[in-house]
Amino acid sequence: MLRGLSAAVLGGCVVLGLLLSSGCVPELSLLGLGGDSIVAGAQETAEPSTPASEPSLADATSPSSDGASTFTPASLPLSTSVSGTVSGTGSYQRFEFGPGAPGDTWRVTANTPPLSASFVVVLLDERDELLYRRVLGSQDTLEHILRYAAGRVSVGIMPLAGSSGGSFDLRISRVVGSVPPPRPERVYLNFAGGSGVRVQNRAALSFPAFDAASLGSAYVGLTDEIKRGIVATVRADYAPYDVIIMTSDEGPLPSGSVAVLHFGGNDPRLLGLAAGVDLYNSQPGGVAVIYTDSFAPFAAMRLEPAEFASMIGNTASHELGHLLGLFHTRQPDDVMDTTGSAWDLVGEQTLGTAPLEPTVFAVGSQNAPAILAAAVGLSPTFEPPGKSAPVAKGSQALDPRRKIIIDIASRCGTCLELEEGE
Ligand SMILES: [Zn+2]
């Protein structure tokens, strides 16, 4: 695998240029490179290059870099071409640039001839935390304005899930811009039923008001208790941010821009689905469904009402995360996780920093607090709660219900279905 990747990279090329106010500087030297992490940069004059730092991704596909780099100072225009090949699951290439300043506007487009396939293209910071992601075809442009400073900006490229990949030739540019302000969000949790609810390209969905009896006979009469738990879970997750959570029990759907989370209906494959991943909440509002009837099989876990509420509430927070720009992760105590067990989904999950799910990108992580703060802003009234009492270790392991394993066939289809539709 290592050899294959190295060969692919060595077959690629990096063409660098720097657009200055005085004009375009001719192509600068190609850096000595090895492996799949390519350090690229340019400066105004061909100064002797300095040793590159070791790639921060210490996985088997990142051999040590014997290359050298010089970086374009942040907030100067930059125009660069990169090309290469990525083929097969887990393969990727990453081109490293210098520091990024708030307001820097990065663009990635296909050079001619057209791309051989659609690719996943990401921007990562110096900690390999995701700044932006999109699926890029020949006619597409990735454009992102940095919301906060980055010690280093990387452009990563990998095949789209289900694609064999191929060769790419991309133009990467950076111009100076200004940071758009956060866009606060209002969210309406609809437990009152719905009709004609459409999410993505799915058939319109109609469903009655949420009734906990749909979860199983053990929950008859517990509707209000479970609803309160769901609302409390979502409110707790988003309390640090400028997100107002309203519910259908408190009043009708308000006018204006509102993100609506519907609770009802059934899907044979999914627990939840959001209209899309709206990076940095570029369009406040949106719609998502939490298919509450799909949770009925988990009644076999003999969940307490509060546990069922936590499970559904975590799923609601997850779908809301998509509407505010978050992607899937692979850490079971993270709200955006898709890899944990049903018991993980019952337990406490938080919006933290977690490794990316591999179809989002092969490496890197998502810092949900940083992204949400940039997307919607921080709550003007939030005060962090005091330290909670520690949970007795081993108490969960002693719970005989933990031996009841119910598989989650598919928790959320948001990202997958979006990319199927690309
Ligand atoms: Zn999801």
- Shared domain check, 162 and 73: yes
Among residues 175, 199, 222, the one where a domain terminates is 175
- Shared domain check, 136 and 40: yes
Query: What are the residues whose beta carbons fall under 8 Å from the beta carbon of 338, sequence distance 6 or more?
Result: 328, 329, 330, 357, 411, 412
Q: What is the pLDDT of residues 256-300, one digit of tens each?
A: 999 999 999 999 889 999 999 999 999 999 999 999 999 999 999
Long-range contacts, 387-390 (Cβ 8 Å, 24+): none
Q: Could you identify the residue written with the tokens 């640090």?
A: 240
Domain that holds residue 80: 2-175
- Shared domain check, 364 and 332: yes
Give the model's pLDDT for residue 412: 80
Among residues 175, 202, 235, the one where a domain terminates is 175
- Shared domain check, 169 and 263: no
* Dist. CA 415 → ligand 1 center (Å): 6
Q: Contact, 171 vs 125, CB < 8 A?
A: no
- CATH code, 392: 3.40.390
Give the model's pLDDT for residue 388: 65
* Dist. CA 142 → ligand 1 center (Å): 22
ipTM of the prediction greater than 0.90, yes or no: yes
| Per-residue confidence band for 32, with pLDDT thresholds at 50, 70 and 90 | very low
* Dist. CA 223 → ligand 1 center (Å): 25
* Dist. CA 124 → ligand 1 center (Å): 20
Q: What is the mean pLDDT of the chain?
A: 82
* Dist. CA 96 → ligand 1 center (Å): 29
- Shared domain check, 207 and 150: no
Instruction: Examine the pLDDT at 159 and tell me if it is beyond 60.
Output: yes
What Cα–Cα distance (Å) separates residue 389 from each residue in 115, 236, 240, 385?
Answer: 55, 17, 21, 12
- CATH code, 119: 2.60.120.380
* Dist. CA 328 → ligand 1 center (Å): 6
**Antiparallel, parallel or unpaired: β 119-124 and 130-136:** antiparallel
Count of structural domains, the chain: 2
Instruction: Examine the pLDDT at 16 and tell me if it is beyond 60.
Output: no
User: Is residue 49 domain-resident?
Assistant: yes
User: Is residue 53 domain-resident?
Assistant: yes
* Dist. CA 318 → ligand 1 center (Å): 6
* Dist. CA 273 → ligand 1 center (Å): 7
- Shared domain check, 205 and 166: no
* Dist. CA 319 → ligand 1 center (Å): 6
* Dist. CA 416 → ligand 1 center (Å): 8
User: Is residue 180 domain-resident?
Assistant: no
User: Of 217 and 201, which is predicted with more confidence?
Assistant: 217
Closest CA to 274 of 314, 322, 315: 322
Among residues 135, 151, 175, the one where a domain terminates is 175
* Dist. CA 315 → ligand 1 center (Å): 8
* Dist. CA 292 → ligand 1 center (Å): 15
First to last CA, the chain: 29
Show the beta-strand stretches assigned E in 163-216: 165-175, 185-190, 194-197, 205-207
Give the model's pLDDT for residue 296: 97
- Shared domain check, 394 and 286: yes
* Dist. CA 271 → ligand 1 center (Å): 9
| Per-residue confidence band for 405, with pLDDT thresholds at 50, 70 and 90 | confident
Give the model's pLDDT for residue 288: 97
Q: State mean pLDDT over 173-180.
A: 93
Give the model's pLDDT for residue 46: 26
Give the model's pLDDT for residue 384: 82
* Dist. CA 322 → ligand 1 center (Å): 7
User: Is residue 200 domain-resident?
Assistant: yes
- Shared domain check, 212 and 288: yes
Q: Contact, 116 vs 163, CB < 8 A?
A: no
- Shared domain check, 157 and 8: yes
* Dist. CA 61 → ligand 1 center (Å): 27
- Shared domain check, 150 and 46: yes
* Dist. CA 28 → ligand 1 center (Å): 42
Give the model's pLDDT for residue 51: 30
Rounded distance between C-alpha atoms, residue 90 and residue 60, angstroms: 11
* Dist. CA 18 → ligand 1 center (Å): 39
225, amino acid identity:
E
* Dist. CA 380 → ligand 1 center (Å): 28
User: Is residue 129 domain-resident?
Assistant: yes
What Cα–Cα distance (Å) separates residue 28 from each residue in 10, 24, 33, 77, 110?
Answer: 18, 11, 15, 15, 21
Rounded distance between C-alpha atoms, residue 55 and residue 60, angstroms: 12
- Shared domain check, 308 and 166: no
Q: Contact, 264 vs 316, CB < 8 A?
A: no
User: Of 374 and 80, which is predicted with more confidence?
Assistant: 374
* Dist. CA 323 → ligand 1 center (Å): 10
* Dist. CA 385 → ligand 1 center (Å): 27
Query: What are the residues whose beta carbons fall under 8 Å from the beta carbon of 176, sequence distance 6 or more?
Result: 75, 76, 77, 103, 104, 105
* Dist. CA 400 → ligand 1 center (Å): 30
Query: What are the residues whose beta carbons fall under 8 Å from the beta carbon of 321, sequence distance 6 or more?
Result: 335, 336, 351, 368
- Shared domain check, 201 and 168: no
